Structure 1
Amino acid sequence: MTRSLPSPLKHTRRALVTAVFLAASSTAMAGSPHLIYLPSTEAGVDHAAIVQAFDDQGFEVSTFAYAGETRLAYAHRIADEVRALMAKGVAPEEINVVGAGTGSAVTTLTSALVGNRHVNYVLLGQCDPVMKANYNFRMSGRVLGVHDANDSTSLSCRPLWGDSPKVSERKELVLNTGHGEALFHEPRQEWLQPVAEWATGGKVSIGETSIGKVDEPAPRKEY
């Protein structure tokens, strides 16, 4: 089922997101892949619509918003949830951690803390290679980085998973939507489709939003 977990989403967003979780609880499918959503703290993000979109795609969604702790403590909290799911018998391949905006850095650190090669991670914008200098970490799992070409707040995600032998697969997808950093403020198909396909073992062609399970020659160089 879709679960609502304690989170300090501010003002009406918190109540709205909780309402979405409660409304969706009766429709989540047994055996659905788990998706842990780490929302951005930026203003103007439609969290409720994004959670609903994930639920509509068949994910069992949990959200863990920033609770005032340090970034590393936040990542430890999420890593503990990932480990708890695996301890309950959920296959690592069925676990997805998706961080948007400010949640992207926490997803990066969660990946390093969990250390499992098969858990799926998605970084939606705000990839900052400076993190490598501020934290001593090596990522793990299957990692997809997505950002818009017009997003001035995000650089390439590739340096974050460099020198990480436990990263079993990594891809970067650069979109040209014109939305810039606001791309992930709403549940747009341009990024929802890659996330859904990545969660089921899909392959990404760089520069395209369409991905599938059968490898095809990429039209552009892959990173």
Structure 2
Amino acid sequence: MSEPVGHRSRADEVYEQLKQDIAEFKLVPGDRFTENSVTERLDVSRTPVRQALVRLQQEGYVEVLFRSGWRVLPFDFAKFEQLYDLRMVLETTAAHRLCDEGLRSPNPVDHALVDELMALWLVPVAQRSSDTLQVSQWDEAFHCALVAAAGNPEMARVHRDVTDRIRIIRRLDFTKQARIDATYEEHGKILSAIRAKRGDQAAMLLRAHIETSQAEVRKITLHQVHMARQGS
């Protein structure tokens, strides 16, 4: 089976698919599988599958089992706590940059990007989405856009990496309508503070918003993970 020519290799495609399977709970923590099962399911050769799995292993998603294939690693909640702490530092710093032009990086603040966020989140209640998956995706995009708008590409790159690593756990935070409503309210207040150039208030609101999400993550149980797979 020949490898396709192009920017994305077959190993990249397998990597992205397996990562998506884990994020969507088609593979849940503790699941065991073999390289052969992946090659058959994705209709690819063994080499890109092995390359993709090694990459996922390095990133802490899976582990290789002696003579018995691979296993999706259980959630490392201590690592998630550390990533949330890092996320909080990055986003509160971004909030201050967005409100104080004196802290600008070599690249200027992207006010147009902030305006786009306001158009999406500062809407009447009747216009809010109730689609949990959609709001989850919008929430992730909101936080990435805030950091990107602050004008520091390296900070945005690190934040995207953190976002990627906590995506699987954040999805479980959007299973209730009350959390969706709270997200709209909290995002709206954060954006209003940024629009008013109140950096301390925006950072405080962001910190509280992230801490609430972090607290919800602490409540997640293995049962919820398995229930998420049933609903996926």
Query: Counting helix residues as a fraction of each chain, which structure ranks higher?
Result: 2
Larger Rg: 2
TM-score range, shorter chain: under 0.3
TM-score relative to the length of structure 1: 0.22
